[in-house]
Structure 1
Amino acid sequence: MIMTHLEIRDLRVEYPTRKGTFVAVEDVSLTIDSGEIVGVVGESGAGKSTVGAAAIGLISRPGRITRGEIRLTGKRIDPTDSRQFSGLRGRKISMIFQDPLTSLNPVETVGAQLIETIRLHLGMNEAEARARAVELLDKVGIRDPEHRVDDYPHQFSGGMRQRVVIALALASEPEVIIADEPTTALDVSVQAQILKLLRRLCDEQRVAMILVTHDMGVIAEVTDRVAVMYRGRIVETGPTRQVLSAPEHAYTRSLLSAVPPIDRKLDRFPQVTYIEDAGYPAVDLGNHWLGEARGFDEIDTPLLELQDVCLDFLSRPSFLPSRRSWFRALDHISFKIAPGKTFGLVGESGSGKSTISRVITGIYRQKSGSVRFAGKDISSLDARGTTEMRRQMQMVFQDPYSSLNARQRVGSILIEPILLHKLASSRKMAWEIAEDLLHIVGLGKAAARKFPHEFSGGQRQRISIARALATRPRFLVCDEPTSALDVSVQAQILNLLRDLQDQLGLTMLFVSHDLAVIRQMCDEMAVMRAGRIQEQGVVEELYEQPKHPYTSELLSLVPRFATAC
């Protein structure tokens, strides 16, 4: 029997500010039936996550619901009654958060957090709860769950932390799940596993789910209905196949056109344009402050070269060296990146992609092998050489929120590297440069005076990219740079990176689990698994004729947006 588990009627969410009231959500109505997955899509800042937060009573202050009602299995719940929500939250309605790092307690093991949730809501004893925690970790794809259950969040990769968050949401066997970008940090193999898990959960246990995502492939793959949001309002809703194959609204059509294809390479990404939008700013880098970075000496050798790089992490500490155990994170990694080219790294979460980027930038020191930048071994550089290398080599991190200082305004965050490397003659000039960089990445100059918490996840990632550009780098390490971005902002950022590369000769290492983005952006790529390179070569050749079975498997698991429609 189909029944409505969650109903949202005429929802309005406001945030009072010193400059007036900001309306984040206006007149939003949704119904989610038992066993149904309803997708909510739209640009970063459209209000998607706010709708989910309102449904579970987690609107952050000073935000408030000023109109509308929320019903759970027919019973109206009052968002202002914290006692009522505390009894429902977790047990009846659960949430998978967008940012796994900030939703896990860093000083408790993942097992302790799972056991606490299971015992609180299901009434199990310690042993039963631990067994259930191990079962959940195994279900969401954590290898060796019997041992990993005793690890802390920082010991997991970004994708594995997201899997732990999903396990926490499933732990209480809720009736409704709000999934806010649940597959953002996941590679295609784990994403396919998680989507099947979520679909099976809804089909077998009749759980109702709101799936907030910017991934149109995920929407096509798993949802029954979809709602498209723009500036706090739903502009189109209907069955997924109908909306994606024959969109009626101009914004929906524009949004779908920005989805990067995996079956061909584009010269440039289409950008979303709609009604009164002025569009994203065109960048003439030849006459821009960033253009002053031109003029690097041409070199015949690769700009970056890794030769037989190995890295071990201590997995079992002991006072006696003979009793210590080590985990090999990187096993004889070798590749080269020519000046002005983009090299891609793909593979499962935990395969070592992000670890390589940290070795290259000097955050980790390899056990053996060499890393050479512009012909110089980075491990032999003196202090002055290291400082100059860090100016020329910048990184865009996977997790935008934890890489930004929450106590600083965005402008202050951006001017810090500019002043450190003496790229501006005064603080005033540095601030003007920071405002211009924010304008380039589509946030506007006014964003300089705001704090990171005032932005959505995708907007924070744009801030991270602006900060990476602030030193006018020669080499950019992009660790999942578009994982938190919707397709419209992703198109803007990828076009910007291409402009930087074409006009400035920028060289990039592009780490991503999005195989469509890798095909569009990279000249060469390597496929990684368990710390080793399985296959590497020219991108077009690997996509058209993969030689390794693992590469073929990854390509087969990509959600097919076009065929699904």
Structure 2
Amino acid sequence: MSLLNIKNLTVEFPTRRGVFTAVDAADLSVEPGQIHGLVGESGAGKSTIGAAIMGLLERPGRIAQGAIELQGDAISGLDATAMRALRGRRISMIFQDPLTSLNPLFTVRQQLVETIRAHLDVTEAEANKRARDLIDRVGIPDPDSRLDQYPHQFSGGMRQRVVIALALCSEPEVIIADEPTTALDVSVQAQILDLIRELANERQVGVILITHDMGVIADTTDKVTVMYGGKVVETGDTSQVIGAPRHEYTQSLIAAVPRPQRRLHRFPQLSYGGRETRFAIEDLARSWPKVENDPSRPLLEVKGVTKTFVKRQGLLPWDRDYFTAVDNVSFDIRPGEVFGVVGESGSGKSTIARMISGLYQLDGGSVDFDGKLVSDLSDKARQAAYRKEIQMIFQDPYSSLNPRMRVDQIVAEPIRHHRLLDGKAVDQRVAELLERVGLGAEAAFKYPHEFSGGQRQRIAIARALATQPRFLICDEPTSALDVSIQAQILNILKDLQEHLGLTMLFISHDLPVVRQMCDRVAVMKAGQLVELQETEALFNAPKTDYTKSLLDLMPRLEDLGDAPEGA
């Protein structure tokens, strides 16, 4: 008997425009101790299956037919009270978005202890000890002090580790991991995947691993189910599906995976079905001002920047504890360059991006943009001009979009704020941008909650391009995207950089993507810059042991060889 069995599952969402079928007659089973991968494009129905198992389908979503069984007992028809007793105790879920999964008003300790005591018969002291052990186990440093901090005091990757600890604390029989490593660097990703494998092997926990990372699938799972358009198109052992895929869509999906072995001019794009984004650079160039870069000086200079945060508040200054997120970091970015920043979660990558963009004030050092000191931009007109020239794609596509605004309003907001266009010209620019990122102009009239995580990130990318910026900060811009859409988006960014002179700061934990995208790469560790090299030199001959360890931990699809070069 399978631990979890899904038979002929169909999930529908009635709308004013008709019934949308998110999952169409899907079959899936998980055995004790088995890790079952679930892959496919953004919007393929992967997360919907997870939500259906947990009884967390958003209204008006419903299970139209089929059954979900846990150890032979049907759970798809249980009422809300019965599902609450089951959820968390026997089936846990690691959600895709860590920011909305955690309560911002409670410390990490309070949330973990509450969950542990709700599901296990333990004392408060035992729950506290268990919470501390879990935080240590998922790789969060200094667990004793971190437990008493709030979610906003953690980086995106650390918040994801807290969510994983919450899912593990009740010792469930089944874990549904929805993109559990999306926000994690390779070192922490390896640690978390080792932990999931350990749970499956030692405790016979069944795991459904929903991910778009084919390297993670190849390294971690026993079995794989591939979905496209709500349907299951291929299921089999991981070695067979990854090494010798039978379905044309699976073949295209694997071909689109960026390889770390060598650098390609463009990313191979998905050739099976759906909408393929063809980026007409000539059309966009007519309205995008050509940037005339001065090659004799850097466009951006970061000089000795430092940023500290308060770890523990106190009435008097000497009673406060401080954490140095960025410690005396210096580098420059040349005009038209794609400058990569990599490092572990919490190493200071995103903090640097926020200091450059003006979202964080500097505690030390300076940032110069085009020869002007950014901290001296006290005049509102100069500030507005700087903010128009520098745009940012944030790591989290859920919290970076206003849920009360339609997509056309979100993308049009910076255009109207900077008074770049008016009237119908704004609507035309918005429609063009949505087409460029593969959503289509019809997406303009929907709200963010109607899109998957990957689709929301494409909305954020369209918004960032709306002001035709000169400098683009990309903070994990493809972390929520499947490999097919990732290829399309990264090719767009390559075109912008090559044909329009756009300069980019590219922050990512995906090292194969960094190799394909960046001209130079800076490696961060514990707030300090430990290595800076040309990309090919760094990948072929890293100078520090830390960089070598990061490269060694990359998930690989060794048996597939090099991907074909294509557009």
1:124 corresponds in structure 2 to 122
Change (3 A) 1:408 1:278: closer
Matched, 1:475 2:471: yes
SS of the aligned residue for 1:344 comes to strand
Partner of 1:22: 20
Divergent runs of 4+, >4 A? none
Amino acid of the structure 2 residue aligned with 1:464: A
Listed one character per residue, the Cα deviations across residues 120-179 of structure 1 (whole Å, up to 9, x for unaligned) are 101211111011000000000010111111110000000000000000000000000110
Q: State the partner residue of 2:276.
A: 279
What amino acid maps onto 1:177 in structure 2?
Answer: I
Match of 1:9 among 2, 7, 10: 7
State which of 451, 455, 460 in structure 2 corresponds to 1:459: 455
Aligned partners of 1:370 and 1:182: how far apart in 2? Answer: 36
How many angstroms does 1:322 deviate by? 2.7
- 2: CA distance, partners of 1:57 / 1:24: 15
Tell me which of 385, 400, 404 is aligned to 2:401: 404
Q: How does 1:90-489 map to 2 (within 5 A)?
A: 90-275=88-273, 277-280=274-277, 282-288=278-284, 291-296=287-292, 298=294, 300-381=296-377, 382-426=379-423, 428-489=424-485
Q: Percent identity at matched positions?
A: 59
2:43 pairs with 1:45: yes
The aligned residue for residue 564 of structure 2 is none
Aligned-partner SS, 1:4: coil
RMSD: 1.2
Q: How far did 1:297 drift?
A: 5.4
Contact in 2 for aligned 1:106/1:154 (Cα 8 Å): yes
Matches of 1:167 and 1:325, distance apart in 2? 25
> How far, CA to CA, are the matches of 1:13 and 1:465 in structure 2?
30
Equivalent residue number for residue 64 of structure 1: 62
Give the distance between the partners of 1:78 and 1:394, measured in 2 at CA: 45
Query: Do 1:70 and 1:76's aligned partners in 2 also have CA atoms closer than 8 Å?
Result: yes
- How far apart in 1 are the matches of 2:519 and 2:250? 31
Query: 1:284 offset after TM fit, Å?
Result: 2.5
Structure 1 pair 557–564 and aligned structure 2 pair: CA distance change class (3 A): farther
1:43, 1:488 within 8 Å by CA — same for their partners in 2?
yes
Deviates more, 1:352-361 or 1:383-392: 383-392
TM-fit CA distance, 1:288:
2.2
How big is each residue's C-alpha offset from its partner over 1:439-458, in whole Å with a ceiling of 9 and x where there is no partner? 11000101100000000000
Q: Residues 290 and 420 of structure 1: is their aligned pair in 2 closer, same or farther, counting only changes over 3 Å?
A: farther
What letter matches 2:466 in structure 1?
Answer: A
Paired position in structure 2 for 1:34? 32
Shift of 1:110: 1.1
Question: Residues 448 and 244 (structure 1 numbering): CA distance in 2 closer, same or farther, change over 3 Å?
Answer: same
Q: What's the offset of the Cα at 1:543?
A: 0.3
Shift of 1:263: 1.2
Q: How far 1:79 sits from its partner (Å)?
A: 3.7
Unaligned residue ranges in structure 1 (runs of 5+): none
Aligned-partner Cα distance in 2 for 1:556–1:462: 31
Partner SS, residue 185 of structure 1: coil
Deviations, residues 34-83 of structure 1 (Å, cap 9, x unaligned): 00000000000000001111111111100000100010011111345212
TM-score (norm 2): 0.97
2:565 is aligned to none
Following superposition, the deviation at residue 372 of structure 1 comes to: 0.4
In structure 2, what residue type is equivalent to 1:478? C
Q: Which moved more, 1:162-171 or 1:76-85?
A: 76-85
**Greater alpha carbon shift after TM alignment, 208-217 vs 315-324:** 315-324
Count of matched residue pairs: 560
1:301 is matched by which residue type in structure 2? Answer: R
